[in-house]
Amino acid sequence: MKVGILTGGGDCPGLNAVIRAVARRCFERGHEVVGIRAGWRGLVEAKFLPLGPRETTGLLPRGGTILGTSRTNPYTTDAVEAVLGNFESEGLDALVAVGGEDTLGVAAKLHAEHGFPVVGVPKTIDNDLSATDYTFGFDTAVFICTEAIDRLHTTAESHNRVMVVEVMGRHTGWIAVMSGIAGGADVILIPEHPISLDEACADIRHRHERGKDFSIVVVSEGYELEGLADESELDEFGHVRLSERGVGARLAQEIEQRTGYETRVTVLGHVQRGGSPTPRDRVLATRYGLKAADLVHEGRFGRMAALQGDAIVDVSLEEATAELKTVPDDWYQVARAFFG
């Protein structure tokens, strides 16, 4: 078999570990592996990179993706025929698509409409894919944010300030909630459970009245607030660039005005996605990669490797991409127990 692999959407720690695991298992079974450059764009433009044992060693701890990535959507650029044609002319028999809701949404559609032989691997620091407990990359992002929150604690305390930390998570607050709980945040604001600015300020005031003279507020980039910057250009999947809306800066301004406490903002941005994966993400990415290679070998297309409890299982791509996995209320209540 000739097996293609692509990585699409925002990059994510652990992508190279998946490539390594898929390749290793495929080689063991005598299959050929071909890398596709820059996500779906590589199939639109026929950009291939043969992968052998030499190209796929030393990848486990490496951040980013050796294949490159893009937010190309063949469905909005009328390029589905090109994808199908280039896949065939390259002589590929199967594709492993490593991505989040967008990349895997395309994979699900290609499979449903054209019987395209694809399997998926759930990637995103946002952890918002359904049918899997965790996506790889999330643990690393939470680790980085938690470390940042720990560091902000000491400077907040020294200056008696409120520190607002803006973290990623396009539509969901998974990173904010997990790193906020781990870092001991005093208020956490996420899109799914929007507490108002008045409530947030009341929590901060309450904390200061009970003797604390600094606070940490974690806000997810997708949290809605009046007066945010105009929307930026949309990408091919129709998403705005949330980092440009400035929710952290706006929130800091409001908190300072309403409470009178000196406030600063830190936007963690792409630091959350860069660099080496945590051990947990290396292991998860490796297990996902082996499972994806197994699904390809067994001809079980239209499936995605997933984590359920401690087991790696497979679920349908359709189920995984049907709706986003938001933060459930019981998780938010764990965080909320420590507000104020």
Which of the residues are catalytic?
126
- State the burial class of residue 276 (Cβ atoms within 10 Å of its Cβ: 0-12, 13-18, 19+): middle
Closest CB 110 distance from ligand F6P, rounded Å: 21
* Residues in contact with ligand F6P by the rule CB under 6 A: 10, 100, 124-126, 168-170, 221, 241-243, 273
Among all chains, which residue has been given the structure tokens 């995984």? 320
Asked whether the beta carbons of 324 and 171 are under 8 A apart, the reply is: yes
- Rounded to whole angstroms, how far apart are CA atoms 210 and 136? 40
- Rounded to whole angstroms, how far apart are CA atoms 338 and 129? 27
Closest CB 82 distance from ligand F6P, rounded Å: 23
Closest CB 243 distance from ligand F6P, rounded Å: 6
DSSP string, 93-110: -EEEEEESHHHHHHHHHH
Q: Which is nearer to ligand F6P, 130 or 243 (CB)?
A: 243
Position of minimal CB gap to ligand F6P: 168
Q: Is 280 helix (H, G, I), strand (E, B) or coil?
A: helix
Contacts of 95 (CB under 8 A, 6+ apart): 3, 4, 5, 6, 36, 87, 107, 116, 117, 118, 119
Closest CB 129 distance from ligand F6P, rounded Å: 11
